[in-house]
Structure formats: structure tokens, C-alpha cells
Amino acid sequence: MRDVYHKQLDSISRSLVEMTALVGMTLERATTALLKADLPIAEAVIAAGDEVDALQRALDKLTLDLFARQQPVAGDLRTLVTSLRMSTYLERMGDLAGHVAKIARMRYPATAVPSDLRATLKQMGHIGVELAGKIGKIIEGRDLDAARSLDIDDDAVDHLHRTVFAALTSSPEPYTSETVIDVILISRYYERFADHAVAVAKQLVFLIAGEEDRTADVKG
Amino acid sequence: MRDVYHKQLDSISRSLVEMTALVGMTLERATTALLKADLPIAEAVIAAGDEVDALQRALDKLTLDLFARQQPVAGDLRTLVTSLRMSTYLERMGDLAGHVAKIARMRYPATAVPSDLRATLKQMGHIGVELAGKIGKIIEGRDLDAARSLDIDDDAVDHLHRTVFAALTSSPEPYTSETVIDVILISRYYERFADHAVAVAKQLVFLIAGEEDRTADVKG
């Protein structure tokens, strides 16, 4: 019985890693769709939203099932509660990548982003993809230091977000309102994507640190 | 023992209702701060964010404690999982109200919103406050039909959000980029506030419908 249980716990962890990979790939493709005004890629990203949702539903079902059947305590209980929270954040990251793709689709065949802001948004997308990869690795290896270090990436994205604000408001040739709206929302989607990645990492810190506390309690 | 348990479950429900009241009041005051350029109210709203966070932490602690000590099953298990999700959404609604207040503070003593858009944003704020009140009542009374009807309010907010887009991009006298950014972000914060209120209601539908399913199973 315990073997089945631990296989199910592993399966939850694998599903979470799978979700990080999917939302990372989705954001990468959304950025490509945005910067290359590539309609088929934008459509594919938007369709992939259903895939993320399906993964989340399957994962939550498994988690609730484990709650109900196994009545977990202590560390396992924390793992399940943490998984529920992480899957919510990861699903939201998929939504945000989808929002970027929807703006790309709305402006096709034009590009939503003026040439002087492309590098900044590309960089925001790049850091977002890296963050998704990092949290996947952290979930696999449960590496507490790495989880804490994600704040540096998040700060970089926040800085780029402020750069976008400054560029939009101080350009000698004013942008159209449409461009200002598109770019500020895209920038915010990237910024929120990074925030959610950090939120996933914080859940892991809570989980692992909690277990360390518990180990300390047992030792003491 | 069961009495203590059910008192704790009631206490979770009361805390959730308290959170809905707090985030509703916070959004109402944020809208006032925004439209009247009232700095003290903006500061008070921003400070109230800590109060919402504290409520959430206390609530989550109580929920986790109940999980660990009582090993709930079936309906009670669903109630606890749902509470964890709802508290996350409510905390986010408090954040979004705080974002509105931060823009008010940033532009003080000027107002962030041009006169022709004030009525629309005021209406978005008004519906948001009503939504918060409604979900409070739904949590208290667990009224499934009311929970499902919130989509109508959410649609109204989405419609107003599109109105804001249209006004910003089709104005005969273009707004400054700063105004466009402020207004589109404020509008999005209201729209997200409403989305989260609906997400809370959906959690309740899931909870109550799940119990109805279970009752049906038992009867069948």
C-alpha cells in the first residue's frame, strides 16, 4: 500500500515538472510568435492552453485522491498542499503566455512591438523561459538554495518592465495608444509570469524548510 | 472533539467572509482614492494590504492545522482544499485593490484618470465591490445559484474593460502615453479583481456541487 502511495507522490512531482516544461516552452513560442508575427505559432500557443489546463486537472484529481485515501500527515501533507498551490501558479503561467500569443494574433500580419522595444521584450521572455526551467529542476532536485536565488531573475524582469515604462513615456516620437497598450500589457504578462515562477519556488522553500524544521524538532 | 472540529470549520468560513468584506472595502476606498486624488485614503488602502495578508496567513495556518489533526474526508476535505484556494484568490484581490491605490498615490496631487473615463472606471470599481459582497454572502449561505450568477457581473466588467480600450485608442485628442498606461493597467486591475471573485465562486460551485454529487451517490 505504501509503495502505491509513494509512486503516486512521485507521479505528482513528475506532473509538476511536466507543467514547468510545458509553460516554459509555451512562453518561448509565444515570444517567437510575438516578435516574428508568426500566426501559426501564435495559434499553437493559444491551443496549448488547454493542454496546461488538462495537466492541472489531472494533477489536482490525483492530489485530492491521495488526500482522501491516504490521510497524509506532516511532510506528505505539506507536499500535497504545496502541489495544489504550485499547479494553480503554473496554470496561470500558461494563461499569461497565451495572453502574449493573443496579442500577436490580434496584430497579425503586423507586429505588436515597435523595433526599439523588441530586444527588451525578447530578454523578458528569455528570462521567463529560464525561470520555468529552473523551477522544474528545483522540483526534481528540491534544491533550496536555487529556489531562493530566483529572486535575482525576478528583479531582472522587474527592471526590464520599468525600462519598458520609461521607453513608452519618454520616446521623442510618441507611440500610438494601441502600441502603448499592447506593449505595456505584454510587459506586464512577462513580469507576472516571472512573479508566479518565484511564487512556485517560495512554495518549495516553505515545503523544504518546513521539513528541515521538522527534522530539527525530531533531532532536538 | 468533533465539536471543536466543527467550531474550527466555522471559524474558517467566518475568516473567508471577513476577507471578502475587507477586500471589498479596500477596493471601494481605492476607487475613491483614485477618482478624488485622495492621498491619505490611498496610503490607508496600501497599508491594508498587510491586514489581508495577515488574515490569509492565519486562515491557512488554521486550515493546515485541521488537515493535520483531523484527517478530514469527503465533504470536509473538499471544504479545506477549497478554503486554501479561496484565500489565495482573496489575497490577490487585496493586492489588485492596492495596485489601484498605488497609481493614485503615484500621480497625486494630479488624478491618473482623464475626466471622460472616470464614470467607466467608477462603474468597474462599483461592480467589483458588489462582487466581493456577493461572494461573502455566498460563502455564508452557500447559495449555488447566486454563485453561478456572478458571471453576469463579470461580463459587465469585461465589457467596461473593452470600452476603456476603445476610448483610449479612438480619442480624437490623443492621451499621453503615461495616461494610457495608467488607465489600461487600472482597468485591467478591476477586470482581474472581478475574475478572481468569479474564481472564488467557482470553487464554491465545485464544493457544493461535489457534495450534491456525493449525496446523489449515497442515495443511488
Name the residue among A20, A151, A157, A162 with its Cα closest to residue A93: A20
| Dihedral sign (CA B95, A55, A154, A168) | negative
Q: How far is CA B24 from CA A98, B104, B186, in A?
A: 29, 18, 16
Q: What angle is formed at CA A46 by the lines to CA A44 and CA B170, rounded to 5 degrees? A: 125
Query: Does any CB of chain A come closer than 8 Å to the CB of residue B107?
Result: no
| Partner B contacted by A62 (CB < 8 A) | no
Q: Do A178 and B185 touch (CB under 8 A)?
A: no
Name the DSSP class of A116: G
- Among A164, A178, A180, pick the best mutation site for testing chain B contact (most B Cβ within 10 A): A180
pLDDT by 10s per residue, chain A, length 220: 557 778 888 899 999 999 999 999 999 999 999 999 999 999 999 999 999 999 999 998 898 888 888 777 777 888 888 899 999 999 999 999 999 999 999 999 999 999 999 999 999 999 999 999 999 999 988 677 777 779 999 999 999 999 999 999 998 888 999 999 999 999 999 999 999 999 999 888 877 776 554 444 333 3
Residues making up chain A, counted from first to last: 220
> Are B125 and B28 in contact, with CB atoms under 8 Å apart?
yes
Give the C-alpha separation, A161 to B2, whole Å. Answer: 52
Rounded Cα distance, B112 and B186, in Å: 9
Reduced to 3 DSSP states, what percent helix, strand and coil does chain A have, rounded to the nearest 5?
90, 0, 10
Position B210 pLDDT exceeds 70: no
ipTM surpassing 0.85, yes or no?
A: yes
CA distance A46 to A97: 8
Task: For chain B, list the strands marked E by DSSP.
Answer: none
* Contact predicate B31/B113, CB 8 Å: no
Rounded-to-integer distance, Cα B91 and Cα B196, Å: 10
Of A84, A175, A181, the CB nearest to B168: A181
In order of B24, B180, B182, the CA distances from A176 in angstroms are 35, 10, 15
pLDDT of residue A173: 86
Provide the CB-side half-sphere exposure for A95 (13 A, CA): 12
Instruction: Flag if A169 and B177 touch (Cβ within 8 Å).
Output: yes
Q: By C-alpha distance, which of B83, B15, B78 is closest to B52?
A: B15
Q: Are A153 and A48 in contact (CB under 8 A)?
A: no
Choose among A8, A95, A110, A114: nearest CA to A45.
A95
Q: Please tell me the predicted confidence (pLDDT) of residue B217.
A: 39
Q: How far apart are CA A14 and CA A140, in angstroms?
A: 8
Closest Cα in chain A to B68: A73
Q: Is A67 close to B81, i.e. CB distance below 8 A?
A: yes
What's the CA dihedral at B151, B155, B156, B157 to 10 degrees?
Answer: 100
Specify whether the CB–CB gap between A183 and A168 falls below 8 A.
yes
Q: What is the DSSP string of B42-59?
A: HHHHHHHHHHHHHHHHHH
AA letter at B6: H
- Separation in Å, CA of B100 to nearest CA in chain A: 15
Residues of B in contact with A81 (CB under 8 A): 64, 67, 84
Give contacts of A 67-106 with B, CB under 8 A.
67-68, 71, 73-74, 77-78, 81, 84-85, 88
How many CB contacts within 8 angstroms connect chain A with chain B? 65
| Grid cell locating A125 | 521572455
Q: Using CA coordinates, name the residue in chain A closest to B74.
A: A68
- Determine, for residues A64 and B81 on separate chains, whether the beta-carbon distance falls below 8 Å: yes
Residue A214's pLDDT is: 44
pLDDT of residue A211: 55
Question: Is A84 close to B84, i.e. CB distance below 8 A?
Answer: yes
- Comparing B68 with A119, the larger pLDDT belongs to A119
| Window A:188-217, CB contacts with B under 8 Å | 188
Summarize pLDDT for B149-186 with one digit per residue, the tens: 799 999 999 999 999 999 999 988 889 999 999 999 99
As a whole number of angstroms, the distance between CA A180 and CA B162 comes to: 16
Min Cα distance B74 → chain A (Å) is 7
Chain A hits for B74, CB-CB cut-off 8 Å, are: 68
What pLDDT digit, counting tens, does each position of B18-52 carry? 999 999 999 999 999 999 999 999 999 999 999 99
